Amino acid sequence: MGYKELIGALHEEGEAKIRAIRKDTEEEAGKIREEAFRRIREMKEGYERALSGMLNERTKDILLDAEREARAALLGSEKALSERLYALSLQTLPVLREGTYAEIFDSLAQEIPDYGWQQIRVAPEDREAARKHFPEGEIVPDPSIIGGLDVTDRDGRVRVINTLEKRLANAWEEVLPELIRDMYERS
């Protein structure tokens, strides 16, 4: 083998080795790229799952907050409605003084137990009716009373309030749901 042939063979062998190294390098680079893409894909999927979970949690929180705010607004509206209906109910109590009010007053007075009441507060129009039921007591006209009576014993320790206003206040929790239901049905 001559010098030229030796150089040609070495050159050919070098190029073959370079091709092999290049092929091995390209294969290794392909494997590295595939591994990197796989890891990136896994990371992306992990982030998407985490982000989706966080998004779901945040969505739930926002919906719960909105629901609480809506409930609070509804309760506020119903409270305002309740107060308005109560005020209107108080304004309509004088209607009860028409017609058979004398019977209503007698009934309210008879519900009060015998006790020797000292002071009997009534609407100014009810002085005579109160005197009939409590001849020994001091009858005090009270323009804030629409109907019924408010009695106190001698020492001021025992008091019975049997006014139309007090009866409305005591029955209000039972009356209110029916009024609200009726209002919703009409609207």
Q: Same domain, yes or no, for 3 and 45?
A: yes
Q: Same domain, yes or no, for 109 and 74?
A: no
Q: Residue 89 is part of which domain span?
A: 1-95
pLDDT tens-digit map of 2-53: 767 767 776 777 778 778 888 888 888 888 888 888 888 888 888 888 888 8
Q: Same domain, yes or no, for 88 and 124?
A: no
How many other C-beta atoms can be found within 10 angstroms of the C-beta atom of residue 59? 10
Which of 95, 112, 134 lies at the terminal end of a domain, its last residue?
Answer: 95
Is pLDDT of 69 > 80? yes
For residue 102, what is the enclosing H or E element? helix 101-110
With contact defined as beta carbons under 8 Å apart, do 141 and 127 qualify? yes
Q: Same domain, yes or no, for 69 and 1?
A: yes
With contact defined as beta carbons under 8 Å apart, do 117 and 153 qualify? yes
pLDDT tens-digit map of 116-137: 899 999 999 999 999 999 999 9
pLDDT of 10 reads 65
Q: Same domain, yes or no, for 83 and 26?
A: yes
Instruction: Please count the CA atoms within 13 angstroms of the CA of 15 that sit on its side-chain side.
Output: 5
pLDDT tens-digit map of 146-180: 999 999 998 889 999 999 999 999 999 998 988 88
